[in-house]
């Protein structure tokens, strides 16, 4: 079951809006994006990738790539401004919690459009020179900027 352009647009907009809204509401990070593009892989150089499986009316994955700076900022803001010195379990737990909220919000938006999806618990992937390939060659990528750092949303559903 492929995604037609109308559904495709609804899915992309729902995930994009959920990411923007939840990051602003929960951690006071205003993400800015004015573009999206298609790619066939994710190249992460020393960033953090959060991978989430999707099933239901569509199947696939969503990935969110964060710079280390944004990951640390997320954790600090979720812990009432308590600064993080190292990338520890508190940071990982904060990221997992925030991304679960983003995904829940996106899936609720899609449910209102009669698109039924579920998601798996987030998996955090860290390392150097990470290369991810998804199940199809059309990965929708939406880059966001905050200050001089990036967040990138990847959507691969069929």
pLDDT in tens, the chain (158 residues): 344 455 588 899 999 999 999 999 999 999 999 888 888 888 887 789 999 999 999 999 999 999 988 999 999 998 888 887 888 898 999 999 999 999 999 999 999 999 999 999 999 998 888 888 876 667 899 999 999 899 999 998 88
The range of the structural domain enclosing residue 138 comes to 5-157
CATH code at 73?
A: 3.40.1550.10
Domain total for the chain? 1
| Sign of the Cα pseudo-torsion (108, 114, 115, 120, in order) | positive
| Sign of the Cα pseudo-torsion (7, 40, 63, 28, in order) | negative
How many other C-beta atoms lie within 10 A of the C-beta of residue 119?
A: 19
CA–CA separation, 112 and 95 (whole Å): 26
Total-model pTM: 0.90
CA–CA separation, 112 and 108 (whole Å): 7
Given this model, what pLDDT does residue 101 score? 96
């Amino acid at each position: 079951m492929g995604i037609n352009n109308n559904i495709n647009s609804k899915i992309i907009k729902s995930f994009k809006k959920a990411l923007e809204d939840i990051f602003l509401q929960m951690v006071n990070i205003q993400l800015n994006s004015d573009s999206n593009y298609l790619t066939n892989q994710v190249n992460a150089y020393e960033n953090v990738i959060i991978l989430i499986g999707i099933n239901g009316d569509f199947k696939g994955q969503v990935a969110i790539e964060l710079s280390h700076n944004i990951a640390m900022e997320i954790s600090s803001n979720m812990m009432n401004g308590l600064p993080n010195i190292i990338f520890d379990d508190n940071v990982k737990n904060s990221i997992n919690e925030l991304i679960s909220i983003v995904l829940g919000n996106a899936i609720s938006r899609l449910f209102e459009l009669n698109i039924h999806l579920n998601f798996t618990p987030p998996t955090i992937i860290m390392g150097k020179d990470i290369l991810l390939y998804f199940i199809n060659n059309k990965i929708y990528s939406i880059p966001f900027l905050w200050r001089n750092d990036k967040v990138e949303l990847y959507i691969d559903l069929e």
